[in-house]
Structure 1
Amino acid sequence: MSGVGGLSSSEVLVGGKVGQGWWLVVDEADGPGRIVAGPFPDRGEARWAATLGPEGTRPVYGVRRTDGGLTRKPSPQDWAWLAHLGEQLERLPDDWATVLSDDDPLTTLVVEVTAALAEAGLPLHDSAGPSDEVGGACLIPEPVLGGIVVTWRQHDRMSVDRVHGLAPAALVQQVMNRAVADVLAARGFLVDAFGGASGHVVRPAA
């Protein structure tokens, strides 16, 4: 593998043995991926090294086994993402718990929708938190409709103070509602207009 070293000064050692880190893996047609280099101390270095490797080389986080294989593990970025997703879910109103149970299909849907929005850089509205005025996506469970109603709330400057006037606020609201709907449709959810397009009903993909 030209320009990429194997186990060298970038090794992550635990008790004198190679520990977990970022590895470069090439998928095999008839078996699991084959380690071609690593470990690397961070994802950025592994990604750069992957550009120098054979086609199909990709960085994977995990622990190299004694047989030369790789046991995948959650990366630091995975843990950071789960923490961020958890923080977003904490923004849901408290009355969600009185409407949905943990095993309700809509509970799974709201987690998936929240994740899709967060991955697009769109936060949930923190209606009961310190960032209430900032705005964000609002999720409303509608068991009768078999989905959740999703709307966008603008910053207080637009939605409450109307610093730019009523017409711009109304136009921006339409644009953002449509943008949120388009993001979720692009992620495979079933999206239908609701309330004169003031929001959208989002359902799981068929």
Structure 2
Amino acid sequence: MSRSVLVTGGNRGIGRAIAEAFRDAGEKVAITYRKEDPEIPGILAVRCDVTDSRQVDAAFDEIEARHGNVEILVANAGVTADNMLEDMSDEAFRHVYDTNVGGTFYVARRASAAPMPDGGRIIAISSAIAPYGAYGQANYAASKAAQVGLVKSLMRELAPRNITVNAILPGPIQTDMYDDLSDEVKAGHIASVPLGRCGQPAEIAGVVTFLASPQATFVNGVALPVDGGALGHLI
């Protein structure tokens, strides 16, 4: 039987690749988006700002009515607002933190509130810079590290209910957001990857679908780098 899957921020990039991979595997897939409906065939798109718990509740109500209780949650929605410390505004810090950490908390809380008779999976998309940091990304790195701490805590709370909670830490991945970076920055990223290339969204999607598969029922509380070897040695 197909399962009910929700991928937050699933309208583009890594999130879209994950959503399409689950759809192609025969699952019932929903995504959240904030602005323009992406209209992806075979996928239910629900407008939702994950920083607003009321919108999160409303989105889950709609998804549950159409697909049943969410059994696989991928907390992928995330933002950046880069700047050096002395130039980073209060608003930029709060917005990134509220989206990347608060959004993960809100959707995980709502998903875990509904019965999951056969167990469930929560997978957070963090970042390989979480344990390392990055110039101009104090807000982003802090939020992604906090996301991992949240995953570790939720793993302990939800394990008795047979719900596993894991995080994936992607390195540089070829997405629209990555394409917006300067050639100099991208060259620096590639130089840090022993495999000598960027990853592809489908390579992240493959790891996510594995963590949601029957083969991964004993994988719990993991922060898994998928970064070509760039930063995984730090974990």
Normalised TM-score (structure 1): 0.27
Structure 1 or 2: more helix by fraction: 2
Structure 1 or 2: more strand by fraction: 1
Q: Select the structure of larger CA radius of gyration.
A: 1
